[in-house]
A = this chain, B = another copy of it.
Amino acid sequence: MPRAGLSPDAIVDLTLQLIDEGGPAAVTLLAVACRAGVAPPSLYKHVRNLAELNTLVSVRVMDELADRSREAVLGRSGAQALRAFMNAWRHYVVMHPGRYAAMIQTSRPELVEAGGRLVDIVLAVLRSYGLEGVDAIHATRCLRSAVHGFAVLETTGGFGLPVDLDDSYELLTQMIISGLPKSAQDHADV
Cα distance, A168 to B175, chains bound together (Å): 16
Q: Are the CB atoms of B137 and A142 closer together than 8 Å? A: no
Q: Are the CB atoms of A153 and B163 closer together than 8 Å? A: no
Contacts of A167 in B (CB 8 A): 138
Cα distance, A112 to B175, chains bound together (Å): 26
Total identical chains? 2
Q: How far is the CB of A126 from chain B (nearest CB, A)?
A: 12
Cα distance, A116 to B144, chains bound together (Å): 25
Q: Are the CB atoms of B171 and A139 closer together than 8 Å? A: yes
Asked if A168 meets B107 with Cβ closer than 8 Å, knowing A144-B158, A145-B153, A160-B112, the reply is no
Cα distance, A179 to B105, chains bound together (Å): 30
Interface residues of A in 85-126 (CB under 8 A from B): 104-107, 112, 115-116
Asked if A178 is an interface residue, CB under 8 A from chain B, the answer is: yes
Cα distance, A146 to B141, chains bound together (Å): 10
Cα distance, A105 to B115, chains bound together (Å): 23
Given contacts A112-B160, A137-B161, A142-B175, 15 further A-B contacts (CB under 8 A): A115-B158, A115-B160, A138-B167, A139-B171, A141-B159, A142-B168, A145-B149, A145-B153, A148-B152, A149-B149, A149-B152, A174-B179, A175-B175, A178-B178, A179-B179
Majority-rule SS of A interface residues: helix
Asked if A150 is an interface residue, CB under 8 A from chain B, the answer is: yes
Q: Are the CB atoms of B115 and A156 closer together than 8 Å? A: no
Interface residues of A in 17-55 (CB under 8 A from B): none
Contacts of A150 in B (CB 8 A): 141-142, 145, 149
